[in-house]
Amino acid sequence: MNKFSDESTFQQIRGCGYNYVRRPTGKRLDPKYTIKTVKHSPLVMVWGAISANSGCGIHIFRKDERVNAAKYISLLNSKVKADMAVSGTTIFQQDSAPCHTDKSVKKWFADNNVTILLNWPSSSPDLNVIENCWNLMKKKVAAHCPTSEADVTDILKRVWVTEITPDYRKTERIAMVLRNRGYPTKY
């Protein structure tokens, strides 16, 4: 079984490109028919991992915190090591970010007998469960209408624990992609 991991960023207000609104004549500036924005909406960076058996927990980075090899190894020690043993996960999937491919990180995986999924196809969000999970979480967080950076953080934790259900994690995405001969799926 695979454990999928990645980082993502969340904002107080989620931009969706152009938004079209149908409104009655003469109601152009009525607040009911406008979309609120926040200039320089704060970003919250998050790391998470997920498998069919379990979510591994998330780590919400402080504003001044950057992901480097040492920080990543710390995350692997605190979040991944025990979870993989408990959930029976044997293969770990991650992208090729520099902090993921550092020699010290590769050594950590070797020392801890964790197999890395190699040759992962690029631009394959239908296959990567965590990419779909981040998209779903962004929608769910936005639906809660966070009002501050602290609110975004609280909502992120709540959504991760209560709204990313076991049924969602167990969806057979790879089988769907194979049935669809590599073309996009509903994910």
List Cα–Cα distances, 76 to 12, 53, 84, 114, in angstroms: 28, 18, 10, 11
pLDDT digits (tens, 9 = 90+) for 119-149: 666 656 556 678 878 888 998 998 888 888 8
The pLDDT value given to residue 60? 92
Q: What is the DSSP string of 106-122?
A: HHHHHHTT-EE--SPPS
Give the pLDDT band of residue 18 (cuts 50, 70, 90).
low
Looking at residue 102, what is its pLDDT?
Answer: 94
Residue 71: pLDDT over 60: yes
Q: pLDDT at position 106, please?
A: 94
Task: Tell whether the model's pLDDT for residue 56 goes beyond 80.
Answer: no
Residue 26 per-residue DSSP state: T
CATH of domain 2-179: 3.30.420.10
Distance of alpha carbon 47 from alpha carbon 139, whole angstroms: 17
pTM equals 0.76
